[in-house]
Copies of this chain bind each other. A is one copy, B any other.
């Protein structure tokens, strides 16, 4: 289209001229995604402890619990504190604590609300911090040992001897209680083939069993097995012996999940509504950029050369799929070779990484209702 083609007037646009960008969650799709994972956990006789880093919302966490989740999982201690203060039945802090003050604040809050706190440790200092906070607050800190099963991030590894060292510290402390082993097979995000994902899930459990054998003689009990990533939970059989699952992204899903074959675009619950603010031959420009969509291509740095989001446009009953080809901070440039999009039109972008979008969003819309992003900005 020509740069100065008069824009279709807002009155004629399919969508009302709401302020954009807006991050909107489809309530029916959210409910379906929550129910689907609840069903998977139930069928596997595993507890579900969904990760709230995806939505940072107490309201959505309560929906997950209402659908059968045993509690939630959080990342940073300040994020966990929001869900403890909200009284979620169980909050797993799947992040090592480095400051006694942060651990003590969690323990004190949990005493007030009755939330059960579960921590992780992968290094002696993590146990030292938890022990000091537990002593200070008169608590017992329940602790998973974090096992690295291939993501190469945080965790003890099978055969390194590290787990047994930590087990001895745990066994010796009256303020610490061993819960079991916890892992996150995030490297499954790099495995588009279902067979490879199944292999990763099987290897994960084998490694957890090996570490279990290392710590059981010290601790006298094998402990629980806690696993969980959306690609392994949705895209591979749940391994026998998994006592609990901790996926996060599944509640929203995104184009990364589509590319992994975990869902269809129609099942993605979170989208970014944006307005076409300019059009020129070959491109349309929207008011959502990297400050709304993030520059993430996938989770854990996966993704490759995939663009920055999917847009479906229907014209004359025909569906056309367009891609956000590049991002500036406040602009998204859509490759639109046929000039389908008109200035003033509103579009819906399915992003690469829903968790990153929700973390950037100043507010979330659940249908037409604004909901609180309770743990917004909880980065420490």
Contact = CB atoms under 8 A, between A and B. Distances in A.
A7 B299 contact: no
A148 B279 CA distance: 12
A123 B333 CA distance: 16
A299 B328 contact: yes
A278 to B, nearest CB: 4
A259 to B, nearest CB: 17
Contact of A19 (B99, B123, B275, B300): B99
A95 interface: yes
A91 to B, nearest CB: 16
Given A290-B294, A362-B379, A123 B329 contact: no
A327 B294 CA distance: 13
Contacts of A160: 3
Contacts of A279: 123
Given A278-B122, A291-B359, A295-B294, A301 B329 contact: no
A363 B285 CA distance: 30
A224 interface: no
A218 to B, nearest CB: 14
Interface string A134-173: 0000000000000010001111110011100110000000
Contacts of A155: 278
Of listed A154, A291, A301, A362, residue having the most chain B CB within 10 A? A291
Contacts of A2: 162
Interface string A367-378: 000000000111
Contact of A291 (B124, B295, B301, B356): B356
Nearest to A328: B300
Interface of A: 2-4, 6-7, 17, 19-22, 53, 75-76, 95-96, 98-99, 102, 122-125, 148, 152-157, 160-162, 165-166, 186, 275, 277-280, 283, 285, 287, 290-292, 294-297, 299-301, 326-331, 333, 343-344, 355-356, 359-363, 376-380
